């Protein structure tokens, strides 16, 4: 895992735009992180493939993305849950297997961009990545020492840079955590060393974000076979 922490900024007075309770927004998108505890005699590969097949068959739950963290027994799902009553299909299955899991409400970064006055549409964001080397980034905009206007401008500047990256041909899927403060994003994209270096430079410097980057693979590509580097 590549861990990049570039200082801490906190904000004494959060802006109204950022503090909106997202009223009227259907919180249908969720990130589900599933952790398979190591147990003697357990077949990790079989468990992961069982999860993969189970989530594909869930009713009224659309799997937008499914990943596995490289080197760790952690599954990362991004789901569009069409009906709240569909949840027990997944939570019941995970609980019956004894898996630990966390659920985070999300919404598309393109929706957030529109609130900021930035022209980003959903069709600009990637909907699949295929069998490629990938990374997941988690960005936090900590809160201290900025005015309302400065905080909004910092976030808007970052969204505008995302649009530039997409327009330059980079596949990117990005979500904001719903009603979470300080503002947090999760993004997925193909990875190269050039791209890692670019993001290190991008998130360092005067913007002072907190960034944690994790290498992942598409769950559809997972075989459980150790691959040489």
Could you tell me the pTM of the whole model? 0.81
Alpha-carbon gap, residue 35 to 75, rounded angstroms: 7
Each domain of the chain, given as residue ranges in start order, spans 2-23+108-219, 29-106
**What is residue 124's predicted lDDT score, i.e. its pLDDT?**
94
Correct CATH for 29-106 of 3.30.70.1060, 3.50.50.60, 3.30.450.40, 3.40.50.300? 3.30.70.1060
The tens place of each residue's pLDDT in the chain, 229 residues long, gives 333 333 322 323 334 344 344 443 455 899 999 998 877 667 888 888 899 989 988 889 999 999 999 989 899 999 999 888 888 899 999 999 889 999 999 989 998 898 889 999 999 999 998 888 899 989 888 777 778 888 888 888 888 888 988 898 888 999 999 876 788 999 999 987 666 666 666 655 455 678 888 999 998 888 766 554 4
DSSP assignment letter at 225: P
Architecture in CATH of 2-23+108-219 = 2-Layer Sandwich (3.30)
Nearest to residue 78, comparing CAs of 103, 96, 111, 97?
103
Structure tokens at 99: 């898996």
Residue 209: partners with Cβ closer than 8 Å, 6 or more residues away: 6, 9, 139, 140, 141, 142, 158, 203
Q: Do domains 2-23+108-219 and 29-106 have the same CATH topology?
A: yes
């Amino acid at each position: 895992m590549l861990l990049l922490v570039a200082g801490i900024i906190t904000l004494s007075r959060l802006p109204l735009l950022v503090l909106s309770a997202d009223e009227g927004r259907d919180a249908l998108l969720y990130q589900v992180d599933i952790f398979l505890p190591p147990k003697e005699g357990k077949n990790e590969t079989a468990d992961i493939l069982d999860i993969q097949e189970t989530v594909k068959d869930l009713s009224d739950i659309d799997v937008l993305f499914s990943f596995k963290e490289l080197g760790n027994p952690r599954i990362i799902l991004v789901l569009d849950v069409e009906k709240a009553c569909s949840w027990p299909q997944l939570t019941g299955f995970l609980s019956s297997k004894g898996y630990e899991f966390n659920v985070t409400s999300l919404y598309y970064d393109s929706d957030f961009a529109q609130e900021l006055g930035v022209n980003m549409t959903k069709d600009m964001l990637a909907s699949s990545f295929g069998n490629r080397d990938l990374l997941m980034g988690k960005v936090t905009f900590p809160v201290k020492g900025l005015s309302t206007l400065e905080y909004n401008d910092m976030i808007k500047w970052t969204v505008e840079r995302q649009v530039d990256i997409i327009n330059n041909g980079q596949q990117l899927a990005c979500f904001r955590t719903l009603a979470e403060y300080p503002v947090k994003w999760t993004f997925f994209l193909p990875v190269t060393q050039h791209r890692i270096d670019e993001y290190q430079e991008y998130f360092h410097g005067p913007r002072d974000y907190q960034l944690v980057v994790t290498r992942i693979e598409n769950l559809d590509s997972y075989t459980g076979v150790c691959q040489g580097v």
